[in-house]
Structure 1
Amino acid sequence: MLPADNLADDSFNHDAEIQACGLGDRGALQRIYERESRYLLGVALRIVRDRASAEDVLHDAFVAIWRRASSFDPRRGEGRGWIFSVVRHAALNRVRDGARQAPLDDSVSTQHEAQAAFAAWREGGDEMERHAALGRLSHCLDALEPERRACVLHAYVDGCSHSEIAERVKAPLGTVKAWIQRSLRVLKECMQ
């Protein structure tokens, strides 16, 4: 079984593997690929919305991980988050460079970033900590006004774009964007 298939395996040390890449250990890059590639491909695919382009993004991102691994500083953040951010930036650069015809809505980008962060959070850490955090999140969501809570849930649970949410809640698009943005700030403060 590949390490990527074993989500309960908490012994994988992303920081150490990235640092090993920085020292020229190709096996470390292979281990990162085996562990994370399917999740990273999902992040890229949600942003570029084309399988072939997402695979190209993933390839480019792993080249960037290899080249930039020596610049990784575990004091500035976790290795897994760093890897996901490299893929996310590579995908966004692909979109900006015109590899995809449809424009990328900021709400879609923010939503995909949140989904990737949630996936990383869900797969790592202690089960008890996750349950406690979910309880805090539920409490914080309950504190939001019903319309704003609905907008956040439509965006991050249902995967709706801002314009789709505006149609669902019968509110102007600008209002929906503002509600979501403010609600995310409130949730972030509440979760700390």
Structure 2
Amino acid sequence: MRNTANKDAQSFRQLYELTSPKLFGFVLRILIKHEWAEEALQESFVSIWNNAANYQSSLAAPMTWMTTIVRNKAFDILRRHNSALDIDGTTIDQEITENMESAAHTPPESLQLTQGAHELARCFKGLEGLQRQSIVLAYYHDFSHSEIAGQLQLPIGTVKTWIRRGLERLRLCLSKPEQA
């Protein structure tokens, strides 16, 4: 890190080669979309190059510092693309197909998973955008309430309320049969 702070391109290349696979996996988990994850990783390494002199080893390990930069860039990209984590029909259809073709499930299990995915997608569509995004961040990406509040730039109480009310709406929707 010290050599990168001194603008040593070879050291920066080594840093990139050693850390980029792990950081890419991390950012892909947040953003889901491969192109967005690549964009976030590229912007992150530009930021790492430009800010390496500001790194303080007494505050965090190098990987922790870089992970924080990557995480923040991912959130910037989410804001820029105006909410990326919606569950859309394409994602659900891919999951259904994978479940049906999976040898890990018996045919009845695959059918039950497929029906559940369709019902969940239908109910998710009934939630408001930020409410849906809050739930996805919490349950699909394991974000804490405070992380979600920071990501959406909202008070933590608002995020907790949205998640609680959204889960209640999902529960009610899933308990009702689909209406044509």
Normalising by the residue count of structure 2, what TM-score does the alignment of the two structures yield? 0.49
Larger Rg: 2
* TM-score when normalising by structure 1: 0.46
